[in-house]
Structure 1
């Protein structure tokens, strides 16, 4: 029943707190035990597999970053809430450039919402804190009588991205012409390929090539969060007609969008200045990632095969049952049908 109650708390409506005084026993000098010391003792009784242990220890580093290494009797519910709120703003560490940054540099770093850790991961952090404070320090070793996690709950926020109309995309791209040249082509790539921002930012000149069968230029996504993310992406006719290959030839460094790669916030700021509203008429958020939603929506509205669209944008094949196992990568010649239907020219 206690376990069920804890899971109900994890799925409740919001971060919240029910204040209650924290009490520790006289027989256990909690003030002499720091958070890190308690964590070491807590781990001694765990028989987790190596992969799970590594994930948990990484999450504890995030917890310790914001809770600091203080005596365990000094924490209050408000400290837990503030730590979780900060953890929810951390980036996905498997994405560059965040994977190359020290954890300490994350404290005051602004991370775009679409690049932050998932709500599920935030819940897992809370679960770890409940295990340490409530299950171990209160119930097992009885260092504390009341856990600072008691009364703390978290609700997964629905983070739905909106999409743009053709005229809105056209206005954004026109406005991008007044920004740095690299950003204009960065926005063009987002609008005409539907690629994720991190995928575009990571592109190297060597990732681009020309298909010998069709003569169509394309680029390779060599890594991603799933196997389906690794793919080839042909460039659409409208993007090519705009002069993208000429721009690519003019780039001197190997990384095509070096500024976007090193400073993700620069893309956020520049794109935000071109979008008049933070949300669309349905209340969905309008950010750079909305270009991807717009691309996918337009491709599906054109009546294209779902499998083609899924492979082009890097989604896992779904809806074909066992047939999906036998469906291999589509050729560049097949995939151009996806990108060539994308047009934002308002007639």
Structure 2
């Protein structure tokens, strides 16, 4: 009986019974309801914002007084039942523990009101985040820190525990005219820090994310690929000659081409690897090596026991954008630069030509490692299928 009453007491204490603000003349009043009765208490404020703060304080005091009365009543009820013999000393333990727990909660609320928590600075927030030991690569953690430093410069002495959505919008606007994906990267990085600390309310909502303006890549024609290869041979661009052949015949992305490992070439003539983009899911792809590509790989002068292109691996590790810029320059010199063209165009070329050749969609999907056939056909395929062709076109 007593324990049941205590449950009801805790529910009443937690329930917000403030009916709202009412303005009479120039003064705002806090309207409270309890037990079917309505009480109006003056906030002594004439502006709505300070009136709401006063109303919150009045409500807190009202609920605290009500909780005290109810807990006292429950404690007296236990004492009466103990004195009358309705409860034994052992049977009192449960109700008294319940009363103590609710009383402790109320006492902590009083402490929070009287001694507010100290403000949490951005630098302290970063230290707390590091204490969670996030499982990130060193390069990923460094990127996150660079973005957080920019946030710290903007945040100044703001309290991170009370950062609002308005503050988040203000910071994102302070970044200026940036691309949508950069805006969203900042949002994701900062949100992940708050999520790692569950005691903090995360103000970085997904609705702050910008709609990506994706620039679709265009595939090269087979003739363009031949021209690129001829340009590379003429200008002694050996690495790019081999990289273009690899991507044309396999659809591999630039990072996977650069990081191509000798152990990924199987004795039975396949490339067997886990692409960088599916590293988390450990999804492997197995791609047959065409004779033209096998001959190209066999002609590489090996300078490493592991990688085919150790110098490019070092460059890519230092800054992954360098090789992308270099390929852009190569296209410009070859007279093929333009919107939508880049190394990733070769992946589009591979999928387009494979489907044109009549190779099944499921087969192409498996080779390129896509999670859905819709992505393979809807995003990467450019052109009409030609089921009469039976093999991927050789260069």
Q: Which moved more, 1:34-43 or 1:181-190?
A: 34-43
Residues in 1 aligned to 2:188 and 2:309: alpha-carbon distance in whole angstroms: 34
For structure 1, the 5+ residue unaligned runs are: 1-27, 45-49, 90-118, 141-146, 212-216, 320-337
Q: CA deviation at 1:270?
A: 3.0
Q: Which residue, out of 343, 360, 363, partners 1:305? A: 360
Match for residue 54 of structure 2?
none
1:175 to 2:231 alignment? yes
Aligned twin of 1:233:
287
**CA distance in structure 2 between the partners assigned to 1:168 and 1:192 by the alignment:** 15
Rounded Cα–Cα distance in structure 2 between residues aligned with 1:268 and 1:179? 18
Higher RCO (C-alpha under 8 Å, 6+ residues apart):
1
Aligned to 2:156: 71
Larger radius of gyration: 2
- Tell me if structure 2 keeps the 8 A contact 1:67–1:79: yes
Equivalent residues of 1:219, 1:232 under 8 A apart = yes
The offset of 1:54, in angstroms, is 6.4
Deviation at residue 304 of structure 1 after TM alignment: 1.1
Aligned to 1:195: 252
Higher helix share: 2
Instruction: Provide the alpha-carbon RMSD of the alignment.
Output: 4.7
The equivalent of 1:80 in structure 2 is 172
- Report the CA distance shift for 1:229/1:169 in structure 2 as closer, same or farther (over 3 A): farther
Q: Secondary structure at the match of 1:219?
A: strand
Q: 1:263 to 1:81 in 2, by over 3 A?
A: farther
Are the aligned partners of 1:67 and 1:80 in contact in 2 as well (CA < 8 Å)? no
CA distance in 2: counterparts of 1:278 and 1:343, whole angstroms: 24
Tell me the distance in 1 between the aligned counterparts of 2:283 and 2:302: 25
Q: 2:188 maps to which residue? A: 124
Structure 1 residues 287, 160: closer, same or farther in 2, change over 3 A? same
Scaled by the length of structure 2, the TM-score of the pair is 0.48
Q: 2:211 pairs with 155, 160, 167, which one?
A: 155
Any conservation in 1 of the 2:265–2:272 contact (CA below 8 Å)? yes
Unaligned runs of 5+ in 2: 1-114, 160-166, 375-388
Q: Which residue of 1 aligns with 2:264?
A: 207
- What is the aligned partner in structure 1 of residue 121 from structure 2? 34
1:274 to 2:359 alignment: no
Q: Distance in 1 between matches of 2:264 and 2:212?
A: 37
Correspondence list, 1:97-108, <5 A:
none
1:288 maps to: 343
Indicate how the Cα distance of structure 1 residues 181 and 39 shifts in structure 2: closer, same or farther if over 3 A, else same.
closer
Write the distance in 1 (CA, Å) between the matches of 2:152 and 2:179.
Answer: 13
